[in-house]
Chains A and B, each alone.
Chain A
């Protein structure tokens, strides 16, 4: 009888399954970026000196700064989940908005970085780039595709967190029902992990 009552008053919920679904999606993302890292590793292996030369064009300071920004945004995302677990709604929303703001800073730095490159004539198919060796052309091709796709993920993550912040303030995400926020966090942390590998592989080739 109690189960009947239960079914009548509660809609079915499976947080465990929801999280597992999210992890499975993250594995497809891992394969997507993993494939690109495979391409990168082979071209770096076959064009070592050209990759070193091309990497000197990248700004290590902006890269390091962006790494710190993204790591901090992962922290604020994790803190927002702890806040909602402790039933502190406004603090959770605050941390979510802070995460979006940090994502915005990251994208702004990316914008300035790409603009500087494009102003120097370094973009796929440019006359300037075509005068360089094939190894350098490959490096910049990979640089634009991989950091571009990563940037797209940051943008999607920011939109998702904005939706979650709306859900939290409207009471759809609560201290005992926050799996949506948790899954958004999982996505955001994956984007952070991808950057953890992109940063040394593009910016720190000395």
Chain B
């Protein structure tokens, strides 16, 4: 029983998950609708922004990152930053060819 502090403590109620799911469905509808309009180069930007918002919701609420310790949050930030840097370096190279 002394071990309790290292046991799982990520608890949420049913309600918040249903709210997040509703938000995800609404955002999907928005992406599909926006893609239907002819926004040219803006289409991919809007799609990526909405996908990022959806991922943020899934990571913080569904994957419980919000209630995890600081170490987890730092780890995730570093992993995402690594990916972002890879994209920036790659496109820095391609744009100047």
Contact = CB atoms under 8 A, between A and B. Distances in A.
B64 to A, nearest CB: 8
Contacts of A13: 3, 6-7
Nearest to B2: A6
A38 B59 contact: no
Contact of A200 (B13, B48, B61, B87): B48
Given A14-B6, A206-B36, 19 more contacts: A3-B2, A6-B2, A10-B3, A13-B6, A19-B72, A20-B72, A23-B75, A23-B76, A71-B25, A79-B17, A82-B17, A176-B7, A178-B8, A182-B64, A196-B51, A196-B54, A204-B31, A204-B35, A205-B44
* Main secondary structure on B side of the interface with A: helix
Instruction: Give the interface size bracket for B toward A.
Output: 35 or more
A42 B7 CA distance: 44
Given A38-B86, A68-B25, A196-B55, A206 B43 contact: yes
A20 B71 contact: yes
B43 A204 contact: yes
Interface residues of A, number: 54
Contacts of A85: 8, 11
Contact of B38 (A27, A30, A206): A206
Nearest to A39: B90
Nearest to B21: A75
Interface in B49-97: 50-51, 54-55, 58-59, 61-64, 68-69, 71-72, 75-76, 79-80, 82-83, 86-87, 90-91, 94
Interface of B: 1-3, 6-8, 10-14, 17-18, 20-21, 24-25, 28, 31-32, 35-36, 38, 43-44, 47-48, 50-51, 54-55, 58-59, 61-64, 68-69, 71-72, 75-76, 79-80, 82-83, 86-87, 90-91, 94
